[in-house]
A and B are shown apart, each in its own frame.
Chain A
C-alpha cells in the first residue's frame, strides 16, 4: 500500500508509509468494531438457545440491531464520575482497556502477507500488549474509590498475572517448534504437520495438550466464565465496572469482547492453522480454480472458537477463587514448564541429534 501512495498519489516515501499505515489501521479497526457489535449479538443468541430462550429478537430483523440499539442507549446516557473518584484515572482506565484490546491486531496475519506490522517479535508483542490489559482493570478498581471495584481489581490483577505465566510457557513450546516469533512464520510452520496434509499444530501429539491449556488459559485471561470472578455478580455487584456509566461503561464492554475475539484469533492462529485451510490437498476440491481465501478460513476458525467460548459460558458454573489460583499455579504452570522441557528435548533429539 505504501507503494500505491508513493507512485499514484505522489507522496514522498515517509508520508506514503504514514498514510498507508493509517489506512491499514482503519481497515482493521473499523470492521473490528462492527464485528464486536455482531459478536455480542451472537453471544446472547447462543447463550439464549442453550437456556431454551429466544434471546434478542425485537430490534431489527431477528434482533440483529440489538447491539446498535444498546450502543445508542449508552451513548445518550450521562457520564457519571463519582465525587470521591480519582477523576483522571477513572476516565483513563476504560480507554486503556479499549486501546490495548485493539493494538494487538497489528500483528495478526489475515492471509499470506496480509498483516499490518510483520515484525519479527510478533508473539512477544502480543504478550506485552496483553500484559498491559491488566492496567485498565486495576486502575478502574482503584480510582473508583469503592470497595467492590477494588476487590474486583485485586482479583483481576492476580488472575491475569498468574495465567500470563502459564500462557508464556505454552507460547514458548510453540515458538520452539515453529522456530520463530513472527506470527506469519508460525502459521506457515503449521503447513502439513508431521508429513500429513492437515494444517495446524493441534495434530502434533506433543502440542495438542498445550492447545487445550491455551484455550482454558485464554478463558481465564479474558475473564470469561467459568473464570469471571472479577464480575461475579453474586459477590461483587458488577466488579470493577460498578461505578461506570454511559460511554466509559460501553468502552469496557467493547474492549472485553474485542479481547475475546482476539483470544479466539490467537487460538486459531497458534494452534489451528490460522489462515491456512484445514487440509492442504488441492485435488480433494472439485473446483481447483476457486481458492477459498485465507481470511475466510481464519474467520471460520475465530467463529468456531467464539462458539466454544459462549458454550462454556452457558454451561460451566463459576470457579471458586482458590480453585482458579490452584489451576493456574499448581496445574498449568508445572505442566507447561515440564512441556517446554519435553518439547525442547524432542526437538534437540530430532533436529540436532545428541
Chain B
C-alpha cells in the first residue's frame, strides 16, 4: 500500500510540476518546477528498483545541470512581453509535437501489450540478488565496452570543441603569477621606517 501511495504521489507531482514548468510566468520558477520534476522522477526510479539511475539523475541533473540553468536564467535580463509574443506563433508546432509524443506513447503501449517486444527476455535479465550498480557495471564494461568508451570520447570532443570555440587570448591582460604570490615573504613587502617628526615617509 505504501508503494502504491508513493507511486501516485511521485507521479502526480511529476505531472503537475511538468505542467507548471511550461506554464509558469517566471523563468526561474520554471527551472525550479523542472528540478521538482527531476527529483520526483528519481523517486519513481527508486520505486521500480533502479536506485543507481535515480541517484545519478539527482546528482547529474538536479545537482549540476539545473544549477547551471538556474545560474543562467537568474542572470538573464528577460523581457516578459516579448517572450509571450512568440506563443501564438509556436503554439501550432508545440501542439503537433505533443500529439506526436502522445501517439508514440500509445503505440509503445500497444506494442508492449501485443507482445511484440519481449523486454523481459532480453540479454540483460535483472537478477534481484545483485545490486543494480553491479548489474550495470557487468554489462557496461563487458558487452557494451566500446560503445561506452565511444560515448566518453564524444563527450570529450564536445568539451574540447566548446573550449576551442569560446577561448580567446586577450592582449594586455596582467595575469597573476601564483607562484610569485605564494613565494612572497613579509620582508619583501614591508619596510621598517623611523621618520623624523613632521617629515613623513618617503615612499
Give chain A's interface residues, CB within 8 Å of chain B: 14, 17-18, 89, 119-121, 124-125, 127-128, 131-132, 134-135, 138-139, 142, 150, 154, 157, 161, 164, 181, 322, 326
Contact = CB atoms under 8 A, between A and B. Distances in A.
A138 B67 contact: yes
Given A14-B1, A131-B58, A154-B71, A120 B64 contact: no
Contacts, number: 61
A161 B67 CA distance: 8
Nearest to A181: B133
Contacts of B70: 138, 157
Contact of B67 (A14, A124, A157, A322): A157
Contacts of B71: 154, 157
Identify the interface centre among A120, A128, A326: most chain B CB within 10 Å of its CB.
A128
Given A121-B55, A131-B62, A154-B71, 4 more contacts: A124-B59, A131-B64, A132-B58, A157-B67
B55 A14 contact: no
Nearest to B74: A142
Interface string B24-58: 00001000100100000010000000011001101
Interface of B: 1-2, 28, 32, 35, 42, 51-52, 55-56, 58-59, 62-64, 67-68, 70-71, 74-75, 131, 133, 176, 178
Contact of A128 (B35, B63, B68, B178): B63
Nearest to B26: A86
B58 A120 contact: no
B126 to A, nearest CB: 14
Contacts of A134: 63, 67
A238 to B, nearest CB: 20
Contacts of B42: 128
Nearest to B56: A124
Contacts of A127: 55, 59, 63
A120 B51 contact: yes
B198 to A, nearest CB: 34
Nearest to A141: B74
A333 to B, nearest CB: 13
A326 B178 contact: yes
